[in-house]
Amino acid sequence: MAMLKDVKGIGPKSLALLNKLGIITIDDLVMHYPFRYEYLERTNLQEVGEEDKVIVDGKVESVPILMRFKAGLNKMNFRLISSSGVVGVSIFNRAFLKSSLEVGTNVIVIGKFDKKKNVITASDIKMGSLSSKVKIEPVYHVTQGLTNKNIATYINMALLQFGKEITDYIPEEYINKYSFVNKRLALNIVHNPPTTEKLKEAEYRLKYEELFSFMFKINYLKKQNKSNNKGIGRTIPREKVEKFIESLSFSLTDDQKKATEEILKDMESSSRMNRLLQGDVGSGKTIVSFIAMYSNYLSGMQSALMAPTEILAVQHYNNLKDILKNTKVNIALLTGSLLKKEKIEIYKGLENGEIDIVIGTHALIQDDVTYNNLGLVITDEQHRFGVNQRANLQNKGIKPDILYMSATPIPRTYALTIYGDMDTSIIKERPKGRKKIKTYVKKNSEIKEVLQLMLDELKKHHQVYVIAPLIEDNSETNDLASVCDLKDKMKLAFGEYYNIDVVHGKMASSAKELIMQEFVQGSIQILISTTVVEVGVDVPNATMMVIFDANKFGLSTLHQLRGRVGRGNSESSCILISDSDTERLTIMEKEDDGFKISEEDFKLRGHGDLFGTKQSGDMTFKIANIKDDYDILLRAREDSEEYLNCTTNINELKLKLINSINNNS
C-alpha cells in the first residue's frame, strides 16, 4: 500500500509537518478538507482602485519575456487580453511557467494592479479560465512551515498518483441510485472546485459516504448486540403485574402501555435489554420504570435506579415507597450524603440480597457496591451520565438488563447516532387533562410588568419559580443574572409579604432538601434557583416560572425547566426574560412539544449544549456536520441498514466497512 512519503514532493521534512497536522496516511491527506473556501470574483479592472488585489482571466497575447537576475531570481512579462481589455502581467520567479504560457493560452491571473502602468504584478497564475464569475479557492488548516499552497499541491499530487486506490465506502447500488460521481472525482472537486454547484454535489457525496459508514457501524453494533448479547431470560408473573397496574390511581396511556410491554418483553427475552425510553417532561416515564422494577422483583431479582440529582433520587424513592406500600418490596435510598455507616448498611443489604430495589445517584455504580442478584439497571436522565459511567454500569453484576430514560427529548438525529445501537420506546401522548403552559418572551426593560404578573399569581396563593443562570456574580465583567442577586431583588419587591429562598447546586444537599421541602409544603412562595430544579420535584401549586437571561439556555433546557409548572389544575405560565436571541426564544411561545423544540434548537445551535462537551467529542466527522446534514444522515442511516440486512453474503466492501469500525471510533 502506498504511503505518504511515496507522494512526489513530500520529503522527510514535509512528512513531519503533515504528521503534525494529523495527516499520517494518503487517505488522511486527500481527506484533509478545506475548512472554508475563498470566493474570488473576476475583477473589472476599470472599477478598481490603486494597488487593489485583482483576479482576471484571459488569453496570453504576447510571448512571455523572461529576465534572469542574480541569485537565480527571475521575472517574466507578457500581455493578456482580459475582459477588461489588454493588460500587462509580470510575475517573479516562475520561469518554469514559460513553456505553458504560449500565445492564445487561457490563464487566470491573481495579483495587484498598478493602474497607472496598467500592469498586474501577479502572485499566482493558473491555467484555464473562470468558468463563472467566481474562482473558488480552498483554504486549509496549515502549520508553521507548510503553506496553504504546499498542502494543495501535495493533495493534488496524491490524487493524481494514487486516486484510484482510495477506498470508496459507498456500495455500488447506492452510487447508482443517487448517480454519485466516483470518489476520486469528488475529492478532486472539493480540492479544486470549478463551480459552486459542482462543489455542492461533491460535498454531498462525500458527506453521505462518511455518514453511511458511520451509520453502518452503529447498525452493525446493534445487530451484534442482538446476536451475542446473552442476558437474563426471566419469567414474569404477568397477572401480578396486571394487578399492580390496576391498583394505580390512574390508568396508563396507550403509549405507556406500549412502552411497558416492550420493556417486559425485553426482560423476558434471553438477550440483554439495551433500551432507551424517551418521553417529554411529564409524559409519565417514571411509572413505566416502576412497573419494570416491580416485575423484576416478582421474578426474584434486584433493581437499581440511578438519578442525576439527589433531589430527584429522593423524589423517586418517596414515590416508589408510596406506590409499593402494600407490598413486601424492600427499597433503599443510597446517595452521596449518607453517613458512612448508613452506606455500609446498604452495601450489605445489596450484597446479601435483602434489598430489592435501590435508588440513588452516582454512588450506585461505585466500585465498592456489590449486588447479590442485579437484574435491572435504570438510569433516569441518562444524558447526564458520561459514556464511561455507562460502561461502568454495564460491567456491574451479571449483565443486567439496562433501561435508559430520557426526559430531555433528544432530537431524533442524536438518538439515531449516539443511541443508534439501542432500542427505543417513545411516549408521545401525555396523560389526560394537561394544560398548555402559556409562555412569553419579555425584555429586561419590561421587568415591572413581570413583577406585576408574579404578584397576580402570588395573590392567588400560588407559588413561583425564578431561575437564573449563575449562582453568584463571580466576575465584574459578567452581567448575567445570579441567584444571589435575584434574591436581593425579589426580597425588595416581595419580601414584605412573601417568603423567598434559594436553592442551587453548590449547597449541601441536606440544606437543599430542606428548602425544597418547604417549597413543597408551601411555606416558601418564591423559590429562586439555578437549573437544579430542572429535573426536580413535583409542586402542583407552583404556577409560574420566570427565567432570567433565558438566552443562555438551550431550548430543551428551557422546556425541561418550564415542565416544573403546569402540574396542577390551574393555568400556568412561563416568562422568558432576554434582550437578545428573542427569535429563537419565541419558538417556546408557540411550541409545546419537547421533541419539536429540541429539533429546532438543534438546528439553530447544534449539539454542543445538549450534552456536555465531552460527549459531543464523540461525534466528529471530517466533512459531514451533524447539525447541517441532518437529511443526509437520515438517508445514510436508512441505506446502511438496508445494506447491512439485505446483502446476505459478506462481501469485500462490507468487510472494509466493518474493519473501519475500529479505526474511526
Give the separation between CA 237 and CA 638, rounded to whole angstroms: 38
Kindly state the smallest distance separating residue 405's Cβ from ligand ADP, in Å: 7
Q: Which does 282 bind (CB under 5 to 8 A by kind): Mg ion, ligand ADP, none?
A: ligand ADP
Q: Which of residues 415-454 bind ligand ADP (CB under 6 A)?
A: 431
DSSP secondary structure letters along 72-127: G-EEEEEEEEETTEEEEEEEES-GGGGGG--TT-EEEEEEEEETTTTEEEEEEEEE
Give the separation between CA 660 and CA 548, rounded to whole angstroms: 47
Query: Which one of 174-182, 190-198, 274-282, 642-650 is the stretch in contact with ligand ADP (CB under 6 A)?
Result: 274-282
Q: Which does 579 bind (CB under 5 to 8 A by kind): Mg ion, ligand ADP, none?
A: none
Among 159, 252, 301, 546, binds ligand ADP (CB under 6 A): 252
Kindly state the smallest distance separating residue 546's Cβ from ligand ADP, in Å: 21
Q: Which is nearer to Mg ion, 285 or 462 (CB)?
A: 285
Cell digits of residue 418: 449516539
Q: Which is nearer to Mg ion, 286 or 439 (CB)?
A: 286
Cβ atoms of 63 and 171 closer than 8 Å: no
Q: Which is nearer to Mg ion, 286 or 598 (CB)?
A: 286
Give the separation between CA 386 and CA 156, rounded to whole angstroms: 41
Cβ atoms of 57 and 129 closer than 8 Å: yes
> How many residues contact ligand ADP, by CB under 6 A?
15
Question: What's CA 102's distance to the chain center, in Å?
Answer: 54
Cβ atoms of 154 and 14 closer than 8 Å: yes
Kindly state the smallest distance separating residue 522's Cβ from ligand ADP, in Å: 17
Kindly state the smallest distance separating residue 313's Cβ from ligand ADP, in Å: 13
Among 39, 69, 178, 250, binds ligand ADP (CB under 6 A): 250
Could you say which DSSP state residue 231 is in?
A: -
Give the separation between CA 603 and CA 325, rounded to whole angstroms: 46
Which of 253, 311, 261 is CA-nearest to residue 280?
A: 253
Q: Which of residues 181-210 bind ligand ADP (CB under 6 A)?
A: none
Is 568 an interacting residue with respect to ligand ADP (CB under 6 A)?
no
CA distances for 97 relative to 75, 193, 395, angstroms:
11, 22, 65
Kindly state the smallest distance separating residue 456's Cβ from Mg ion, in Å: 30
Among 90, 156, 286, 578, binds ligand ADP (CB under 6 A): 286
Which residues, in sequence order, are CB contacts of 328 under 8 Å at separation 6+? none
Kindly state the smallest distance separating residue 432's Cβ from ligand ADP, in Å: 6
Kindly state the smallest distance separating residue 286's Cβ from Mg ion, in Å: 5
Torsion, Cα 534 535 540 541, to 10 degrees, reads -40
Cell digits of residue 6: 511515496
Kindly state the smallest distance separating residue 561's Cβ from ligand ADP, in Å: 12
Q: Which of residues 281-300 bind Mg ion (CB under 5 A)?
A: 286
Question: What's CA 607's distance to the chain center, in Å?
Answer: 3
Is 318 an interacting residue with respect to ligand ADP (CB under 6 A)?
no
Cell 448486540, located at residue: 225
Q: Which is nearer to ligand ADP, 98 or 430 (CB)?
A: 430
Q: Which is nearer to ligand ADP, 299 or 327 (CB)?
A: 327
- Give me the helices (H) in 594-629, please: 594-605, 613-616
Query: Which one of 10-18, 210-218, 277-285, 321-329 is the stretch in contact with ligand ADP (CB under 6 A)?
Result: 277-285
Is 284 an interacting residue with respect to ligand ADP (CB under 6 A)?
yes
Kindly state the smallest distance separating residue 380's Cβ from Mg ion, in Å: 6
Q: Which does 284 bind (CB under 5 to 8 A by kind): ligand ADP, Mg ion, none?
A: ligand ADP
Cell 433520587, located at residue: 313
For β-strands 36-41 and 134-139, DSSP reports them as antiparallel
Is 282 an interacting residue with respect to ligand ADP (CB under 6 A)?
yes
Q: Which does 464 bind (CB under 5 to 8 A by kind): Mg ion, ligand ADP, none?
A: none
Q: What are the residues facing 377 on neighbouring strands?
A: 304, 402
The C-alpha angle 390, 391, 392, rounded to 5 degrees, equals: 90
Q: Which does 431 bind (CB under 5 to 8 A by kind): Mg ion, ligand ADP, none?
A: ligand ADP
Q: Which of residues 391-410 bind ligand ADP (CB under 6 A)?
A: 407
CA distances for 12 relative to 18, 22, 653, angstroms:
10, 15, 33
Query: Which one of 71-79, 280-288, 488-496, 503-511 is the stretch in contact with Mg ion (CB under 5 A)?
Result: 280-288
Query: Which one of 163-171, 260-268, 278-286, 655-663 is the stretch in contact with ligand ADP (CB under 6 A)?
Result: 278-286
Kindly state the smallest distance separating residue 284's Cβ from ligand ADP, in Å: 3
Cell digits of residue 230: 446473552
CA distances for 649 relative to 172, 258, 655, angstroms:
15, 35, 11
Is 287 an interacting residue with respect to ligand ADP (CB under 6 A)?
yes
CB atoms within 10 A of CB 558: 27
Give the separation between CA 359 and CA 370, rounded to whole angstroms: 14
Kindly state the smallest distance separating residue 267's Cβ from ligand ADP, in Å: 19
Site string for Mg ion, 357-396 (x = CB under 5 A): ----------------------------------------
Kindly state the smallest distance separating residue 282's Cβ from Mg ion, in Å: 8
Tell me which H or E stretch contains 491.
Answer: helix 483-494
Among 7, 30, 89, 281, binds ligand ADP (CB under 6 A): 281
Is 582 an interacting residue with respect to ligand ADP (CB under 6 A)?
no
Kindly state the smallest distance separating residue 287's Cβ from ligand ADP, in Å: 5
> How many residues contact Mg ion, by CB under 5 A?
2
Q: Which is nearer to ligand ADP, 58 or 284 (CB)?
A: 284
Q: Which does 250 bind (CB under 5 to 8 A by kind): ligand ADP, Mg ion, none?
A: ligand ADP
Cβ atoms of 349 and 355 closer than 8 Å: yes
Site string for Mg ion, 437-476 (x = CB under 5 A): ----------------------------------------
Q: Which of residues 521-560 bind ligand ADP (CB under 6 A)?
A: 538
Kindly state the smallest distance separating residue 574's Cβ from ligand ADP, in Å: 16
Give the separation between CA 175 and CA 143, rounded to whole angstroms: 36
Kindly state the smallest distance separating residue 407's Cβ from Mg ion, in Å: 5
Among 14, 156, 256, 531, binds ligand ADP (CB under 6 A): 256
CB atoms within 10 A of CB 265: 11
Q: Which of residues 6-65 bind ligand ADP (CB under 6 A)?
A: none
Cβ atoms of 598 and 411 closer than 8 Å: yes
Q: Which of residues 357-376 bind ligand ADP (CB under 6 A)?
A: none
Q: How far does the chain reach from its first CA to its final CA, in angstroms?
A: 23
Q: At what angle do helices 12-20 and 148-162 cross, to 10 degrees?
A: 100
The C-alpha angle 48, 114, 44, rounded to 5 degrees, equals: 30
Give the separation between CA 506 and CA 484, rounded to whole angstroms: 12
| Residues near Mg ion (CB under 5 A) | 286, 407
| Residues near ligand ADP (CB under 6 A) | 250, 252-253, 256, 279, 281-287, 407, 431, 538
